[in-house]
Amino acid sequence: MTFYQDRSVKIRVISQVGSCEAGHKAGDEFIASGKCPGNLCVWAFNTIFPYFQVLMCDGSFPWEKDPRKCTVACGDPENTVIFELSREK
């Protein structure tokens, strides 16, 4: 049994500005547990990963209202995709 076997994080695109090279758009959803989910931009996942790890380990962020969620922007400053990460029950 692995640590991630019974845990997952939903990654949802909540907004997108400009032209996303990976084609992400508002409403896209991915479920991640132990690795980058298929069709999610690997560069975006690289940015998301530290936040993903905190949620996977039952951590939270003091600036977020909901301790099971966080909002993260991809690294492209001109074509920004905003993701909401939420720890699944």
pLDDT for 33-62, tens place per residue?
878 888 999 999 999 999 999 999 999 999
Residue 27 is assigned to a structural domain of this protein: yes
Q: Is residue 79 part of a domain?
A: yes
4 falls within a domain: no
pLDDT tens-digit profile of 12-34? 999 999 999 999 999 999 999 87
Residue numbers of the domain that contains 76 = 9-87
pLDDT confidence of 1, banded at 50, 70, 90?
very low
Distance CA 18, CA 66 (A): 28
In angstroms, rounded to a whole number, what is the distance separating the alpha carbons of residues 30 and 48? 12
25 domain-assigned: yes
Count of structural domains within the chain: 1
pLDDT at 7: 86
User: Residue 47 is encoded by which pair of tokens?
Assistant: 């940015």
* pLDDT at position 6 over 90: no
CA–CA separation, 27 and 11 (whole Å): 10
Q: Is 7 exposed, middle or buried (0-12, 13-18, 19+ CB in 10 A)?
A: middle
